[in-house]
Each structure stands twice: as structure tokens, then as C-alpha cells.
A and B are shown apart, each in its own frame.
Chain A
Amino acid sequence: MTEEIIIKEAPEQEISINMGPQHPSTHGVLRLVLSLKGEMVQKVEPHCGYIHRGIEKMTESMTYQQIIHLTDRLDYLSAHMNNAAVCLAVEKALDIEVPERVKVIRTIIEELARIASHQLWWCSFGMDLGGLTCFFYGLRDREKILDIFEETTGSRLIQSYNCPGGLMADLHPDFQRKVKEFIVYFRKLLPEYDELLSGNIIMMERSKGIGVMTKEQAISYGMTGPSGRGSGFSCDVRKHHPYHAYDKVKFNEVLRTEGDTYARYMVRIDEMRESMNIIEQLIDNIPAGDFAVKMKPIIKLPEGEYYQRVEAARGEFGIYIISKGEKYPYRMKFRSPNFSNLSALDALTRGHKIADLVAIGGSLDYVIPDIDR
């Protein structure tokens, strides 16, 4: 006698829940409204604005030197790149050629910042997937870079080291030695990252084939940086429109064609190696000279529109200035990489589980203050 078990299927209906604004895996105050069918995500609707500070409006009442310290607070992990974007735009508008020394120092510090940013991403990505070990390993190595920054620039995270026309201060005498020590140290320890997470079966099962984005989709969503390069979209500003000293160094643009979470992960790991290559090429050849051009105390840009883009740690960071010939910009607009990358979240997660949403969000590596500005 077999008793027939009748499973009553619940009527499939969509429920909508909030993920965030206070949720550890959204890396900040991002609110995602999810439409769920069971555990499957049907739709993701990001609601921005919880940390909106009106930075673009604030810049309209600030001089160009003062704007620098606000751009630190957009994408705080690539603060130096954001600073450099403003400086490059102002220098381009005024037709100033900065000394070679400034260019090389800016390049080195930007690459160090990129490594530090990717290390912190690696920490949080591991933690999103449930591996707490990664967090301590990544932060341990990041501490070395932050010490180098603190010695030269005076701050650890938001450095404000650039200023229009050059740098705030010259390099600390220990800078070169410490960077070389760090490269030796980190070359030895980067394989540990692969052993801990890249080859881990749990991590591979949760990231391979999850959140696939084709090249065409990536282009149409405007995904840049490692997220776009994971889909095979060649979008490295350093390669295509070189600024600073990037045209003098040899490096590869890391490209992957799979377009899934694992590809985005591997692009970032390989980018750390490329960044170390760039630093190694430059660290011994820092030309002597001034660390800044003498600028007027009040900078007035000639009337016109100026655009400058740089490669921040998460993608293409653009800055657009309209000047009416005064000491304040008439209008300023930031093109932040995270905002475009976030717009692709809906397409990436459709049909996946909630746990995959966390993994995909971690691989996009969004920084919320950069989205809301």
C-alpha cells in the first residue's frame, strides 16, 4: 500500500522585497527592490539617493583647487585617479604642460591605488561569498600600500595629493625603497590569493556561468573597467587615450571573453599583476625636477567646455566642466563608472537566485558614494 503524497503547489506569485539600504552585501546604502518568484530573481530595481550629497552642485561654488578634495569623496577607493581627472582637465584648459616627474609620480601612485582598491574588492568579494578568510589576507597587504601613501601624501584613504599644476608635496625620500619592497612582497603573496579563492571549488561553482554579459550588452550598458573587460569589451582608457606616463610603459590590457562573474574576478586579479609591471618599469626612472608648476593663486579657466577621462579602479571616470571664464565652474558633471555598471545589474541577475545576486553585485564592485555623488 503506497500512500499517495499530494504536494500542493503554491500559486506562483511574484513577491517584492527590499534588499538594503542597510545590508552588508550591498557595500553601502544601496536599496535594491527585488521581484522574486520563489528564490528566483525576476527583476532588480536599484533605488539610489541614500547618500546623495550634491557634490556636482557644490562644485559650482568652489574654486578649482577646492574641488579636488570633493572628488576624493566620490569613489574613495580610487581617490587619486579622481583627483587627477580634475587636474588634467584644468591643465588641458589652461594649456599647461606638467613636468615629467609629476606625470611619473602620478602614474605610480595611481597604480598603487588600483592595487589597493582591487585588494579591498577581493576582501569583500570573498566575504560576499561567505569566506571570511579572504578579508584578513587582503587587508593585511593593503595596509602596506596605505602606509606608503601615508608617508608621502599624509593621508591613507582620501589623499588630496594632486593639485592643478602638479602635486601638493614632493615624494618622501623613502618612497622608492618602500614601493620596491612592496612589489617584492606582493609578488610573493599574490599566488596565495589564487590558492585561497580563485581555485576554490565553492567559489568556482558560485561564479562560473553566473551573470553572463555579452560584449554587445556590455557596450550598450556602458560597462567599463574590469566589469566591461570581463566581457571582452576593450575599454582601457590608459591604453586607448594615454594620459600621464602611460604611453611610455608597456602593459597588457587584461581581456576575458566569458563575461561571467568568474571572468570579472580574474580580470581584477590579473590587473594587479599588470599594475605591478607598470610600477616596476617606472619606479627606478623617476626623473628629477619640480613637483609642481607655479600656478596663479586664483585659477580662471577660459570660457568653454572641457572633458577629461581617466581609468579609475572601477572603470572610466569622466569629468565635464563648463566654464564661463570665472574662478568657479559654471557647471560640472562627473561620469562615474559605478553608476553605469549598476544599471546592468538587472540584466545580469534576471533568472538567477538571490545568492547569485550577491555574487554578481560583488563582482561589479560598486562603491555607493560614487553612484549617488
Chain B
Amino acid sequence: MREIINYFKSIFFALKSLWTGMKVTGSYFFRPWTIITQQYPENRKTLKMFERTKGELVMPHNDKNEHQCTACGICQMNCPNGTIAITSLSIETPDGKKKKALDKYIYNLGMCTFCGLCVKVCPSDAIVFSNKFEHAVFNKNKLVKTLNKEGSTLKKGVE
């Protein structure tokens, strides 16, 4: 007799436990505003990333097409993956001294692990991370980017 009671008891508790779980799921049916789902490709216009989001490395230029990179190469040395390659050329300043200047700042996005060391060590704050995160391209050569713009020069006052 006792066995039979226990048998039905266990069935009752099993059904009860299933009902408890179903209740939670069912309750969301009646309060759909508590569900947080972003409709990603549709909300691209209003999507706002956090300002520190490490999307890709960029070199900000001001409106006179001037950047702040002195081609010192510290970021290149600190990069663990060899993502950054800097080519420099030597120019002559008006007072006759020879100086290193940036020729090309090549950044390979496909090799970057976004550790943020380059931005941290840069002595002249020439590079920052932007929020752009949609990097899909059809050809991986397109991931190799030249960060300094055509014809850009060093901002005055940055040594």
C-alpha cells in the first residue's frame, strides 16, 4: 500500500515540478516587454556602441589632414602579433636637420587580437580604437589597411 502511495506521490511531484518550470516560460508570454532582443541588422542606424569598444585601429586626422604619428615605432615593437608595420622616410626640416617622418602606417586587421597595447604605449596619442565592428570582406587583402591618409603630414607641435 505504501509503495502505491509513494508511486502516485512521485508522479504528483514530477508533474508539479514540470508545471513550475512551464509557469516561468509561460509568464513571459504575457509580459513580452521584459524580453530584450535586439533586431540587429534592422537597428543599424540607431545602434550605438560604447565609446571604449575596440572595433578597429584608426589614426585620427584633423581637418587640415594632419595626424600625430611621429613614426617612432613603439607600437610596432609592442604588438604581440606583428600586426603593425611602419615605413618611415627621412625629411629635411627648414633648419637643415634630418628627421624621421611617417610614410605608411600599415595595419593588418586580420592579425589583430585587440589587446590594446599599441594605443596604451603610444607617446603622442596618434592611434585610437574606433567603434566600427563590421569587418566582413570578401578578400582578406582588404583587411590590410593603410591608416594614414594620402598626403597627410605631422601635426605641428608633436615631437
Residues of A within 8 A of B (CB): 62-63, 65-66, 68-70, 133, 140, 143, 147, 150-155, 158, 160, 163, 168-169, 172, 192, 195-197, 199-202, 204, 297
B17→A65 contact, CB < 8 A: no
Q: Flag whether B13 is at the interface (Cβ < 8 A).
A: yes
Which residues of A are found within 8 Å of B120, using beta-carbon distances? 163, 168
Q: How many residues of B contact A (CB 8 A)?
A: 26
A199→B20 contact, CB < 8 A: yes
Chain A nearest CB, measured from B74 CB (Å): 8
A195 to B21 alpha-carbon distance, docked (Å): 5
B50→A151 contact, CB < 8 A: yes
A172 to B50 alpha-carbon distance, docked (Å): 10
Which residues of A are found within 8 Å of B25, using beta-carbon distances? 133, 196
Tell me how many residue pairs across A and B have CB atoms closer than 8 Å. Answer: 72
Chain A nearest CB, measured from B6 CB (Å): 15
B117→A195 contact, CB < 8 A: no
Give the residue name and chain of the A residue nearest to B27 (CB). A192
A154→B52 contact, CB < 8 A: yes
Q: Flag whether B80 is at the interface (Cβ < 8 A).
A: yes
Chain A nearest CB, measured from B91 CB (Å): 27
B18→A169 contact, CB < 8 A: no
A192→B24 contact, CB < 8 A: yes
Give the residue name and chain of the A residue nearest to B113 (CB). A69
Q: List 11 A-B contacts (CB under 8 A).
A: A66-B78, A66-B115, A69-B80, A143-B36, A152-B52, A154-B116, A155-B54, A160-B115, A200-B20, A201-B13, A204-B17
Complex partner residue of B14 from A147, A172, A201, CB under 8 angstroms: A201
Query: Are A150 and B52 also in contact (CB < 8 A) when A66-B80, A163-B120 are?
Result: yes
Complex partner residue of A70 from B14, B21, B80, B129, CB under 8 angstroms: B80
Query: Are A155 and B114 also in contact (CB < 8 A) when A133-B25, A168-B120, A192-B24 are?
Result: yes
A269 to B126 alpha-carbon distance, docked (Å): 46
Give the residue name and chain of the A residue nearest to B52 (CB). A154
Which residues of B are found within 8 Å of A68, using beta-carbon distances? 115
Give the residue name and chain of the B residue nearest to A134 (CB). B21
Chain A nearest CB, measured from B25 CB (Å): 6
A132 to B118 alpha-carbon distance, docked (Å): 42
Q: Flag whether B124 is at the interface (Cβ < 8 A).
A: no
Chain B 91-131 residues near chain A, CB threshold 8 A = 113-117, 120-121, 129
